[in-house]
Structures are given as C-alpha cells and as structure tokens.
Chain A
Amino acid sequence: MATVNSEPQVFLFLSHILRKKVVKPDGQQVGKVVDVAAEFVEPYPVVTGFILKDGRGQNLFLPCKDISIVDEDTYITDIPSNKLQEYRPHDGELLLNNALMDKQVVDTNGARIRRINDLQFLQAHQGLYLVHVDVGFRGLIRRVGLTKTMDKLLQMLFDYTLPDQLISWKFVQPLSSPDLLRLNIAQNRLSQIHPADLADILEDLNIHQRTAVFQALDKETAAEALEETDPKVQVSLITDLNSARASDIIEEMSLSEATDLLADLPKAKAEGILREMEKDIAEDVKELLAHPEKEAGGMMTSSFLSFRPTVTVRQAMETIRAKGEDVDMLYDVYITDEEEHLLGVVTLRDLLLASAETILADIMDKRIMSVNLNDKEEVIADHFAKYGVTAIPVVDDKEKLQGTIMFKNLLEIVAPELGK
C-alpha cells in the first residue's frame, strides 16, 4: 500500500478505519469502509483489502494495492468503477469486523476469556498487519465515541488517563466459530495454557463453545485439560464426541482418572468407548471399574512398576527408562515375589543414590504399609496422614499387590471436604 505518511510505523484502530470514506482523485465518493479482509498468516494476519458499501448498498471489494493515498479520514483510489468486484471469500481469509469485533477470545497469556473491543493494526513494510486486540475499557469507550469526554472527565476528577489494554495477537485464540478455531490449530495456542487453566476456561465457556474448543484440541492437550475438569463437564464433553475420538483422548489420561470418567458416563457410551480403546488399557480400566469408587480398589491405579528382589538397580533403571513414559506411578517401585506378594518398596531416590550393581532386596524398605482393596476412603486418608507417604500400595485378601493409590487421587476425594 502506498502511503504519503513518512512515518515508517503507524498504529491504527479498526474502529478508526471503519469510519473512513473511499473517494476517487476527483473527490467523487466510491463508498464507505464497512469491513476489512485479512489473510490469516503467522505471526500476524495481513490485510488484503477493504469491503466498501457504495451508495446503492452493494458490498464491493477494494484490494489494498489499489489504494493510492491515505488521508486522515479518506482513502483515495484510482481504480475504475467497473473494476470493483463483489467480495468473494478466499480460504484462510476472514472479514475482521464480522468475525472478531465484539466477540469472545481466549487470552492465552493471561489464561482468561476476554471480549474484543477493538483491533489494532500496524502499518509497516508496505502492509497493514493485525497486531493487537483491545480488550480494555478505553477501547469500549472509543467504540461508543466518548473518548474525549471520558479523558476530560478523568483528567479533571482524578488527573488520570485510562491506558489502552492491548493483547498481542500472538496470545489470542478466537472462539466465535469453528473456522476460527481451526485457523490456529497448526500453532495450537490453547495448548500453551496450563491444563488446569485450560480446564477453568472450558468450565467458563458455554456449552457450544466448550465443545468446539475441546474438539479443536490435540488429544494430549485435551486429555490433560480433561483430567483437571469438573466431572459433570467431563461427561458432557465426552458425550459429544464419537467413541473413537473419545477413546483416543481417554487413553492419554492417567488410568485412575480415565476409570473415574468412564464410571460417570452412561453405560452404553462407556462400553462403546471401551471397545474402541487399546486392548490392554481397556482391560486395566475394566478391572478398576469393578471396584466401588470410594474404596481403595476404585481409587487406585494399576499402572505402576514392580520388580523381583534379585533385580539390580541398573536393570531396574533400564526398565524405568524404557517403560516409564506411560506409567502413572513412577516415584515408588514395588518389590514382589513370584506370586505377586508385596515384599517392599524402593523409591526413585533410593535407586538414584544406590550403586548400579546393588540388588533391590538390599535397599528396599520392608516396613511397608498397605491397604486392602475394600478399605474406605477414611482409612486411606488416615494412612496418608499418619505415615506421610506419597503413595500407598493396595493388596487383596491374599496380600497380593493389585495397585497403588497416589496422593493426588486421594486429594480429589478429600478436597471438597476441606473447605468446610
């Protein structure tokens, strides 16, 4: 875009651009700017042209390159009238006023949902780039057209000027339509948010947005966020997915979280998902599902590592490195005999400090506390409090190791009681 402005970089607000007129060099009016088309490229969307409304109410497209001079309130173009075409949307291109103004977005830096009051462009390198969104009160007042009044009033009363509140486009994830969610998927801004914050955002969104956002997440991010979400919201999110996609996400969750979620789902849905899941994970989940949720069997995970007492530290560490990726409980490993009877526990700390050729029997702690499959949550909470451990192994009536309860899992059950 050619410009008379000698400044190399100028910031412009969309609300300002929308007020501009487009005229011919002889002063004849072509139309008014009603929207701005931009191509969504990284890092900043670039404006490709303007949508004009002419005197007869028709929408015309004026490409950026055809604007010769930019004035304070007008664009001057020498494009012949018959060259002005009606606007046809292209892939990866959006009308900014229509798609973004007044809509909700996620500020991925602050992990909050905001509403766009205005858009800010940078005019540089012969182009116009969308660089900031304005979410502040000043932006709102600018749209209302009372900036001067507000400035005078605040200056008079408090000697204060309200600053703009801008968020860089890099940290903005639009929510308003599935198209917009897909646009950013390559870069996946939502996955930069901490899963716990993402879960809060999901809970804040309305039911349609929530589903759309969730379905736009990659399965790892979706699983992480899902683990942190309220059980009711979990159920509604998973119910909206087909079984194949749901099982992909649930497989990524920790075993005990996945079990809790499946237990909350309607039976038919849960069975459908289990059928789609990988055999071995599905078997583990089914085993855990058999236990009541508030007993040790329902709270434990069967995803942990166990070794024979004769295994050396080196061998143990090799196994941990090879398999550890998908294991829920890694900080304690359990020592069992051939019949799975629990003999002792070795912590990761023990393993790191011991020399490589030591056998586990020599470093294991035999004074191990365990709970029975049928023990209730109170008993388990007491054990955690009394022994100050990070995990408690669970055994059946024959003292065979069945799983382990991590402190994290207990916390989910105890936490609601804490506030009272």
Chain B
Amino acid sequence: MHGKLANIRQKLTQGGMWKLGLFFALIGPGIITSNVDNDAGGITTYSLAGSRYGLSLLWTLIPILVALIIIQEMCARMGVVSGKGLSDLIRERFGAKVTFYLMITLFLANMGNTISEFAGVAASMEIFGVSKYISVPLGAFFVWRLVVKGTYKSVEKAFLIACVFYFSYIISGFLVKPNWHEIMTSFVTPTIKFQVGWLTMAIGIVGTTIAPWMQFYLQSSVVDKGIKAENYKYTRMDVIFGSFAVNVVAFFIIMLCAVTFFTNGLHIETAKDAALALAPLAGSYCAWLFAFGLLNASLFAASILPLSTAYTICEAFGWESSLNTKFVEAPQFYGLYSLIIFLGAGIILLPGIPLISIMFYSQVINGILLPFILIFMLLLINDRKIMGDYVNSIVMNILSWATVAVLISLSLAMVLAAVVG
C-alpha cells in the first residue's frame, strides 16, 4: 500500500517535471519570433500610430491579435505535420514558376525590412551621438560575423534578455496615470477613418505585427526543432503566448505615444522624439533607454532576417543552405546572405535618407504583401495530401479567409482614398 502510494507520487512528479521540462524545451520558436516581431519597424510604426492618430487605431490590435494567432498557429502546424518549411511546401505544391516570382517579391520585401533594421541601428546610435557612417558598417559587420562564425546561438540569449526593454513601455504606461476609461473605450470601439494616412497606418500596423517573413521564419524554426505531432500542443501554447506578448507591447507603445504626443499636439520627427514616451520611467535618461532598446531590437532582427530570407530562397530552389558548409559548397546561400546585409546597410549610408519613413513604409509593404502569402498558406493547409487530418477546421477557414478579404480591402481602400482624396 505504502509502496503503491510512493509509486504513484513518483509517477506524478516524474510526469509533472517531465512535462514542465518539455514545455521549456519546446518553448522558443513562438517566443523568439514574437520578440523579433517588435523590431525597428515595429517600434517606429506603433510610435507613429499613437502620435499621429491618438487612440483611434488601438482597437485594431484586437482583430490583429486574432489574425496573428490564427496565422502563426497554421504555420507551426504545417511545420510539425509536414516537416517542411513554407517555401519548400509552396515549391512542391505550386511549381517552379509561381515560386520564382514569389521569391523575388519576398526578397524585395525582406530587403526593405533589412534596410529598416539598419535604419534602426543608425537612428538609435545617433541618439548616443554616433554617426551612421560608423554605426551602420559596424552593425552590418557584427551581424555578418555573428552568423558566419556560428556564434549566433549564444548571442541569441543576450538579445532575448535585452528584450525586457519592452517592459519599460508597460511600466511607463502605468506611471503616466492615463485616463484608463478613455483608453478602454477606444480599445473596444472600432472606428474607421477613410483617409489615406489613417488607412496606410492601419496597414503598417498589420504588416509589422504579422510580417510575412516571420511566418517563413517561424515555420522553419519549428521544423528545425523536429517537433513531433504528439507534442504539438506545447508549440501551440508557445505560439499563442508569443502572439499575446507582441500585442501587449504594441498596445502600450501606441497608448503611451497617444498620451505623450497626440494629446499635446506633438509630432515624431526623429527617433529622439519617440524616446520621450519613456520619460515617465527614465526621466532625462529616456533617450538612452529608448536608444538601447531600439538598437537591441534592430540588431536582433537584423541577425535573423537576412539569414531567414537566404534560407527561405535556397530552400525553394534546392540550393545548399546550411551554416555548417563552406562558402564554395553553398555559394548561393552565403551570396544572398551577404548581399542582403551589405545592400541593406549600404542604402542607409546614402546621405540624407529619411530613417523614420523607411522604417514605417517597409512595414506598409509587409501589410500589402501579407494577404497573398496568406492565400498560399490557406491552400496548403487545406490540402489533405500534405496535412492529412490536420487540415483547417471550418471556423479557422472562415476566420482566415475573412482576414484575407479584410486585408485586401484595406489595401484597396488605401489606394481608393489616395485617388479620391
């Protein structure tokens, strides 16, 4: 009897510990992706959204959260079930021609994102008084070495820890003692303004929160981890948790910038202005705090984005793509990787280039591209030959096709508003 009890207890603790361990072992792809999600483009777009349009865009975060969870969950599920990356699946299902043009588009969009990360490096270091002609080449070289030398994995943890920076927005958010009633009212009251600027901003928020390149990145991370279908539920938790985290941070940045800038009639012209939102927490050091956070976010994303892009393209075209190979064995991979970094950094070095606009408009491009990537994903995930019994449920399909429709109409509305207005 006694032995039996001890046995049961042992089983329970073993099971419990094992499950907890498993959760931590499988945690990762979703959390990391979500932290990379708040990159230079993200911080800038959310800051601009709050400062220009006040609280009127806050409610969009609710449907965006739902869409983000749905989309990332589909990616993770496809990765686990098929064991293949997104570009691999697209190539096998839609053939060479479609893949070729899609990869060119993705390359250009990701190029835009990389440029925006280096814009983030330039903008943050300018706050410290360092010229972009010094900071950007150094940043580019740092990122390039990091991955080619294979030290990325150890630095990833440092990047992740530095992401506690986002808490400073949350803390500041409480310190300013905003009118929570007003904020919550705006949060749950959908308003739409038929203005080019407002619509562009909405697309930018969607594009930065649900960036197309991140879906490719998430899926290949899941594949690389070799997660099996029976452990999929932990990955789903990871993805959902990550999606929430992104949106909480977005909520506080938009809200804080609305309170700090919009209500006082101020505008964000440079990164230094945007730092003022953190003044309640850091006082006169807010600029440094912001610069540190922006630099970390930019470098973090800049080390993943070019790599993920090169990987995605090489996977689609069947080129050798592993960091364990030498340059001569994988010339396309290293070539693409280096090209993206050095072109991305090089463009920022052009004199007089507007950093804030670059960070913002690259996200708008993401938002316009997203529904098309989503269509591919939906066709793939409903293909029983690939997904077997793990195809989408009807509810998922309705929600995700609705997302596609909304996103396309949003882009069309923006064009229409531009033509009319």
Contacts and interface: CB of A to CB of B under 8 A. Distances in A.
B228 interface: yes
Given A135-B318, A143-B96, A102 B83 contact: no
Contacts, number: 45
Interface stretch (A109-117, A330-338, A385-393): A109-117
Contacts of B91: 102, 115
Given A135-B318, A204-B322, A206-B223, A143 B84 contact: no
B83 A208 contact: yes
A188 interface: no
B21 interface: no
A144 B96 contact: yes
A317 interface: no
A101 B98 CA distance: 14
Interface string A111-135: 0111111000000000000000001
A140 interface: yes
A290 to B, nearest CB: 23
B83 A117 contact: no
A168 interface: no
B175 to A, nearest CB: 47
Contact of A140 (B101, B317, B320): B317
A104 interface: yes
What size tier do the contact residues of chain A reach?
20 to 34
Interface string B62-92: 0000000000000000000011100000011
Given A204-B322, A206-B223, A102 B97 contact: no
A101 B95 contact: yes
Interface in A174-196: 176
Nearest to A118: B96
Given A102-B91, A102-B96, A115-B91, A209 B83 contact: yes
Nearest to B94: A102
Interface in B247-262: none
Contact of B318 (A115, A176, A236): A115
B190 interface: no
A102 B92 contact: yes
Interface in B291-328: 317-318, 320, 322
Contact of B320 (A102, A112, A117): A112
21 contacts: A102-B95, A102-B99, A114-B318, A115-B318, A117-B96, A117-B318, A135-B318, A137-B317, A140-B96, A143-B96, A144-B96, A144-B97, A144-B100, A144-B101, A206-B83, A206-B84, A206-B223, A207-B223, A207-B228, A208-B82, A236-B226
The 7 A-B pairs at the shortest CB distance, nearest first, are namely A115-B318, A143-B96, A206-B83, A208-B83, A207-B226, A144-B100, A207-B83
Given A115-B318, A206-B226, A207-B226, 5 more contacts: A112-B320, A144-B97, A207-B223, A208-B82, A209-B83
